[in-house]
Structure 1
């Protein structure tokens, strides 16, 4: 039961954020959106370090001075995985202006949804692999630290849900339809969390690689998508402050709950 609740927490964050479409009339102001993207980046970087990379190294301590190998290898595999997806999946950046991937006749709405799906895949994998680690490496990962990661991602998913649903409403869609778009954008997280749990359960010896793989995938999203959009036009101050706050929040959650 705790496992199901844990993998659904990030999805709840996205859903609550999407519900902002019923209470906010206009799109989020530019400076607020930059701060929120910076905040999300800070949460994801801190989660990658404390919740994924450090446990990956600790689980490999039997390798002695080479205990970093699974973390480094998995990290780059995660980077490469998201790099490939970024190239083969047509999608917009969150600003809805920059098109990436192959040419397509999909609607702007569909491509923005694909962008959010790409963002949420590594987050779902991160939550899934941490909860999977409780059963196979219970002495390395606690239930509290797994929930800390899920809560941290849910917090950063809240503004992301709003950032997705509000533009849809401004394009003339109904509030209910815009809310649905925001909710659907988060479905991929529990799905990939479940798939990761299943995969890591089959080959539990590879858990350190799964952890660092998820970290690499999240870092790719931060560097490739979130930070460039948050700091566009050389407006970096609010993004930097948001990043620092998000990093601190995730660090406090992981240390205090873990």
Structure 2
């Protein structure tokens, strides 16, 4: 039951954020959007370091291996995995009119949904692999630490849900449909989290690689999408402040609860 709750918390965060479409009359103000994107970046960077890379290094040392090898290899493979998905899956980033990925005749709404779904995949994997580490008992990760990561991602998923649903409503989509699209963008997280637990549980010896793989995938999303969008145009300092706050909050959550 605890595992199901930990997997579901980030999805709840996305759903609550998407529900803001029912309470906000106008689209998200550009300054607020930058702050939220920056906040999400900070949370993901801190989670990648404290919840994934450091446990990967510690677990390798406990196994008697070379500490930096799994962390480096897994990290680079995680970046490559997201790069592959980014190249193949047709999607459209927020505030952009130029589709990316393989050309496909699908709606702008669906491509925007794919873009958000893409960067929710590594978040789901991150929660799943930390739960697998806690279950393994020798990764230096506790179930409380896994919940801390899940909570941190849920907090940053709240603005993400709003960032998806609000622009869709602004383009003329009905509120219920915009809400469902925002909520659906987060549905991939518990699915990939559960699949990661199943896979990692069968191969405990290479769990450090899974941890760093999730970190690499998350950092790819931050550098490729979140930070550029937070730093585009005017008022870039707002995105920077948001990043600092998100980083500090996730660091506190992980250290205090982990």
Does TM, scored on the shorter chain, surpass 0.5?
yes
Q: How does 1:1-258 map to 2 (within 5 A)?
A: 1-62=1-62, 66-138=66-138, 140-233=140-233, 235-258=235-258
Q: Is 54-63 or 177-186 further displaced after alignment?
A: 54-63
2:29 and 2:234 mapped to 1: Cα distance? Answer: 17
Q: Is 90-99 or 197-206 further displaced after alignment?
A: 90-99
2:65 and 2:105 mapped to 1: Cα distance? Answer: 51
Segments of 4+ in structure 1 off by > 6 A? none
Q: Alpha-carbon deviation of 1:233?
A: 2.4
2:143 and 2:198 mapped to 1: Cα distance? Answer: 18
Q: Is the 8 A contact 1:125 1:192 kept in 2?
A: yes
Q: Find the residue that maps to 1:66 and give its secondary structure.
A: coil
Q: Is 168-177 or 51-60 further displaced after alignment?
A: 168-177
TM-score normalised by L of structure 2: 0.97
2:228 and 2:173 mapped to 1: Cα distance? Answer: 28
The CA deviation string for residues 151-196 of structure 1, in whole angstroms up to 9 with x for no partner, is 0000000000001011111222221111111110100000000000
Aligned pair in 2 of structure 1 residues 25, 234: CA closer, same or farther (>3 Å)?
Answer: closer
Which 5+ residue runs of structure 1 have no aligned equivalent?
none
1:235 and 1:219 mapped to 2: Cα distance? Answer: 23
Q: Alpha-carbon deviation of 1:97?
A: 2.3
The CA deviation string for residues 1-59 of structure 1, in whole angstroms up to 9 with x for no partner, is 10000000000000000000110011100010001000000000000000000000000
Q: Is the 8 A contact 2:40 2:156 kept in 1?
A: yes
TM-score normalised by L of structure 1: 0.97
Q: Is the 8 A contact 1:96 1:108 kept in 2?
A: no
Matched residues, number:
258
C-alpha RMSD of matched pairs (Å): 1.3
Q: Alpha-carbon deviation of 1:65?
A: 7.8
